[in-house]
Structure 1
Amino acid sequence: MYKKHCDNLKFLTYSLKELEKQTKNSLKTENELATTLNTNLHSFLTGAWIEVSLYKLIYENKFDSIDREIIIPNSNTSLERKWKNALDLAFSKAFSDNFSLQEINSTIFLSKLTDTQLQWYTNIQDFINNDLKDVVSLRNKIAHGQWKHTFNSNMSRVNIDLQREIKNNHYFISKRRLETVKVLVNMINDISMSPKTFARDFDKHYHEILIIKDRYNDIAFKENVENMKAKFNRAVAWETHNRNRK
């Protein structure tokens, strides 16, 4: 199963890279409809990437069937909750002397963490509650065809917040979320597979996320688009000039 999930993740990673090329092309040619299509698909695939990454993780050799039941207790467990369960399991195993299911369910293990370990845990929880949750929420609406108008869970009224989020979504926002959750997944992989590696690299990963958020801001997006359009227009003008000389 592990190899199959690796294959799926590899294909999704490739698909995201190809879609990013298409998105850049639609931006520089000012094709608004194609840009919306590509951006939404990129956001959708980012959500799929997160889900497949979870399954890849829980089929690593350090996880058994009991671990998988802890992380995915039933079919209705949300993706966000699954990642929180994976985080709880990893921290409990890494830093609790008497690991047990009861400790995880009651979060007793948190009281056994040092101040530094608790800060690590809290920071990752914050990233899950914000960055990962945003990706999953958007992915779900896009998957259900709510590309222009989004609704609440029982389809009885418009979800204004998510509708605004979809309307304002652009390539850099989606790219920022993808790169952020990649680092987040790496952090949870590290604590699950090698607590020593996690402790050594935590600060580096944390600052990577801060840099990503700064690199892919709205101002940078506008500047990037203008540069792409200017470069494209110069190329078109040069091609037209050469063609007229023949």
Structure 2
Amino acid sequence: MLLAPALEGMLRLPTMSRIASNRWLRYQENRDLVDQAFSYVTRIGKEAIRQNDKVAVGTLESLATLLLAAYVESRLNETIWYYSGFDDSQRQTLADLTIEERWYKVIDLGFARLRNLTVRQVPNNLNFTDKARREELVRVVSDYISPLITARNSIAHGQWKYAFNPDGSAINGERTAIISRYTIWRVTLEKNLLDHFTWIVHDLVVTGHTYERDFDKRIDDLHSAVNRLKKGDRNKWEEGLRARYRRRPQVQSGI
């Protein structure tokens, strides 16, 4: 008996959709593990702050920065390999790019898909609202993801306090300043900020309906996270942790 044409076609199709789905699931598992590790490190980092253990705090700040960068990269890969997102040719255009470049490209591919444009028509052929939204997303990559990648690269090469020029001839003041800003306080707030950002990009790439429906709420949450980071006081937050630790009930040991 001959198979129905549609069924016969399905059986002849390559299994790339299944491969993409399996790849996405593996990236999701990785992200879950990195997320758990980040939560663990920041939790014991807060405890180190409470006890004023400066050596432990410094160590955990570096580890938390590495984990935050790994988490954001995992979220990027989840979006790239989501089974109903990009096709194989679009994924191929991302393969040889840096992490930062991939974020920019993913955003443009998302808007191209949403508005039935080629990626070369983005941003010029976008309407005013889409251009403004794209600029906001690109700014998050520039302001938060790019410095995080810079810090991750330095820390991964053992430059935990001082970053050097590529040839190792001198201290790189700009990169050193970037490393020093990643405290337990900052990575905790940035994690929240980048969660809102990555969900916006995921919705943009995967489903236009969800992106349009949820954008206003998600961007409001993102703006709130940015304001908490800009207006917050790290020293006040750390002193609050230490003060509460000093006020904790003391356990009387029995004789």
TM (norm. structure 2) is 0.84
Q: Which residue of 2 is the match for residue 199 of structure 1?
A: 212
Once residues 167 and 83 of structure 1 are traced to their aligned partners in structure 2, the CA distance between those partners, rounded to angstroms, is 24
Partner of 1:2: 24
Does the CA-based 8 Å contact 2:147-2:178 persist in structure 1?
Answer: no
Which residue matches 1:65? 88
Match 2:126 to one of 113, 121, 143: 113
> Quick one: distance in 2 between partners of 1:151 and 1:196?
46
Q: Is the 8 A contact 2:107 2:201 kept in 1?
A: yes
Q: Which structure shows the bigger proportion of residues in helix conformation?
A: 1
Cα distance in structure 2, aligned partners of 1:61 and 1:222: 44
Seen in structure 2, the aligned counterparts of structure 1 residues 168 and 91 have a Cα distance that, compared at 3 Å, is closer
C-alpha deviation, 1:221, in angstroms: 2.5
Letter of the 2:87 counterpart: D
Match of 2:77 in 1: 55
Task: Structure 1: state its 5+ residue gaps.
Answer: none
Partner of 2:148: 135
Whether the aligned pair in 2 keeps the contact of 1:131 and 1:180 (CA below 8 Å) is no
Q: Residues of 1 paired with 2:226 and 2:87: CA distance?
A: 35
The yes-or-no answer on 1:177 pairing with 2:190 is: yes
In 2, are the aligned partners of 1:57 and 1:189 still within 8 Å (CA)? yes
* 1:84 and 1:128 in contact (8 A); partners too: yes
**Cα–Cα, structure 1 residues 69 and 11, in superposed 2: closer, same or farther, change >3 Å?**
same
DSSP 3-state at the match of 1:235: coil
**Match in the other structure for 1:11:** 33
Which whole-Å CA distance do the structure 1 matches of 2:185 and 2:88 have between them?
38
Which residue in the other structure is 2:103 paired with?
A: 83
Aligned match of 1:29: 51
Say which one has the larger Rg: 2
Q: CA-atom RMSD, angstroms?
A: 1.8
Count of residue correspondences: 232
Q: Which residue of 2 aligns with 1:44?
A: 66
| Deviation at residue 89 of structure 1 after TM alignment | 0.9
Write the distance in 1 (CA, Å) between the matches of 2:137 and 2:231: 24
What's the CA shift for 1:13?
Answer: 0.7
Between 1:120-129 and 1:109-118, the stretch displaced more is: 109-118
Shift in Å, 1:214: 2.8
How far apart are 1:223 and its partner, in Å? 2.3
